[in-house]
Every structure is written in structure tokens, then in C-alpha cells.
Amino acid sequence: MPSIIVPAHNEATVIRACLDSLLQQPGVDRIIVACNGCTDTTAAIVQQEYPQVLCLDIATPSKVNALNEAEKHVLSWPVFYIDADTKLSAGAIEKITAVMAQGPLLLAAPEPVIDTSRSSWLVKQYYQVWLSLPYIREGVVATCSFVISAEGRKRFSNFPNVINDDGFVRCQFAPDERGNVSGTQVFITAPQNLKSLIKIKTRARLGNMQLAAANLCTRSQDKPYSQIMRAKLFSKDFFSVSIYIAIATLIRLRAKQQLKHLSSYRWETDHSSRQVQS
């Protein structure tokens, strides 16, 4: 039976929706919420309203440390690592577990469903193109969540002190060892404005740069990005693709600048998408 780890830092507005979606999943052994460095009521909500969930109240505000601490309480595999501001579709855990048991996936994820209903026009244009990229939907990218089998977890020891934990995990597996499971979804709320989008995408890009600089990837992560973008520029989606490229270029330049001052980096969070969810 699978276990679930939910790292949570100041997620009081969204933690209920996340846990409600997880508690409706059949066949789960244990749910562990790793509250880390919370200064709001996240831990109190979990402890008081969800007694069936194991709540860890960790002083250090670090997602990777929270994952490492939570893993000490895991009793069974595979383990689902679920972000606190997301929700899973009904039966997702049972289906993903069954698919992984059949092989060959060692790393899996549900398919991302990104809600842009409250997002600005520019943010919607960005995600329209981003979600159409083949490696986004096929390679455990953009899901905010991932699942590792017992065998797959042997690929690395502890989660290292990196910005992009899911990027680190992904680059420990070859393309044929990882994939999104059809018929399962993770629901993600997109940023409402361009500023918030740039913040979270810069963090992801910076995290990938950090992984490359530290040689922490053991599997090739080549993406035919230039070829795909070139083809899209000469398609009917020219306008939205041009907007995407402009935003992506700004994100890349911003991440390069932050990489020069990585030792003093402060985690950037999108607060616009963290309104109370139902």
C-alpha cells in the first residue's frame, strides 16, 4: 500500500482541500504532512481537524529537509510526494500504484490540469503554449507531484539541499523509466498575474541551473526545445508562442542573474494562487 508525503510551509489556506482529496483515495497506508517553518495555522489545522494524518511540526523552513524527515516515517512504498496547494483526482493513487506495479515506471506522476480561470490574459497565453510542449505532459514535468517506487528510491540517498526537488528526482531516471499516468490528474491553480508567474518559473529555472552546475543529474535530460519552438513560430499559434518566448526569455535571464547570488537566494512563492480552495 502506498504512503503519501505532503510538505507544507504556511499552507493554511489550501491544506484542507489537498488533504480532503487524499483522504478520499482508497488503499493508502499513511499520510504524512511535514509542516516546516510554519508561522500560520497549517500545523494546527492538520493536528486538530485531521487526526488520521501524521503531522510533523518541523522548525526548519526547508522543503527538502521536510521530505527527508517525513521519509523516516514511511512504512510502505511507493511514496506519493504531493504539494500542499494541489489536489488529486478520484482514484488517482490506486491507478498509479497499479501501473507502477506492472512496470517499467520507477518514477510516475498524474497528468497536470492547470486552472487558469482566475489568471490574467498573459498568464493564460503562457500556459496555453507551455502545456502543449510534448515533454511537459510526457515526462513527469509540471505536475508539482511525483511518485517513486521502492526500487526507484534507491537511486539517491537523501534529498539534497536544492531548490528544485522534483527536477532533481526527475533527472535520476531515464525517459523510459518515468512518465505521467493517463487517466489520473493533479489539479494545480495557476498564478493570477504575470509577476507571480515569473517568480515561480524563475525558481524552477534557477533550480535546473543549480542541478546542472553541481552535476547532480545522473540521466540525460535533453529537450528538443529550439526545434519545437521554431516549428510553433510558423504555425497558427504564432501570436501566443511569441508571448511565451518573450516571457520565457525574461525568466531565463532572471534565473541567470540569481544564479550569481545563489548563496543568498530567498525562496520565491506565488501567493496569488493560494487563496482558500474548495
Asked if pLDDT for residue 183 goes beyond 90, the answer is yes
CA dihedral 140→143→145→151, nearest 10 degrees, is -10
- 138: which 3 cell numbers? 510526457
Say what the pLDDT of residue 256 is.
Answer: 96
For 132-140, what is the mean pLDDT?
A: 70
Higher pLDDT, 82 or 227: 82
Higher pLDDT, 275 or 262: 262
pLDDT band at residue 224 using 50, 70 and 90 as cut-offs: low
Q: Which residue has the cell 498568464?
A: 123
Asked if pLDDT for residue 142 goes beyond 70, the answer is no
Asked if pLDDT for residue 275 goes beyond 90, the answer is no
**Among the listed residues 225, 217, 215, the one whose alpha carbon sits nearest the alpha carbon of residue 173:** 217
**Among the listed residues 216, 190, 202, the one whose alpha carbon sits nearest the alpha carbon of residue 267:** 202
Higher pLDDT, 142 or 78: 78
Say what the pLDDT of residue 252 is.
Answer: 95
Q: What is the mean pLDDT of the chain?
A: 91
For 133-156, what is the mean pLDDT?
A: 82
Asked if pLDDT for residue 278 goes beyond 90, the answer is no
- Show Cβ contacts of residue 50 under 8 Å, excluding neighbours closer than 6 positions: 19, 23, 33
| Strands across the sheet containing 145-148 | 54-58, 30-36, 3-8, 79-82, 145-148, 107-115, 178-189, 86-88
For 252-257, what is the mean pLDDT?
A: 96
Q: Are strands 178-189 and 54-58 parallel, antiparallel or unpaired?
A: unpaired
Report whether 251 contacts 205 (CB < 8 A): yes
Say what the pLDDT of residue 141 is.
Answer: 67
User: What pTM, to 2 d.p., does this model score?
Assistant: 0.92
Write out pLDDT tens, residues 83-123. 999 999 999 999 999 999 998 999 999 998 999 999 999 99
Rounded to whole angstroms, how far apart are CA atoms 86 and 277?
9
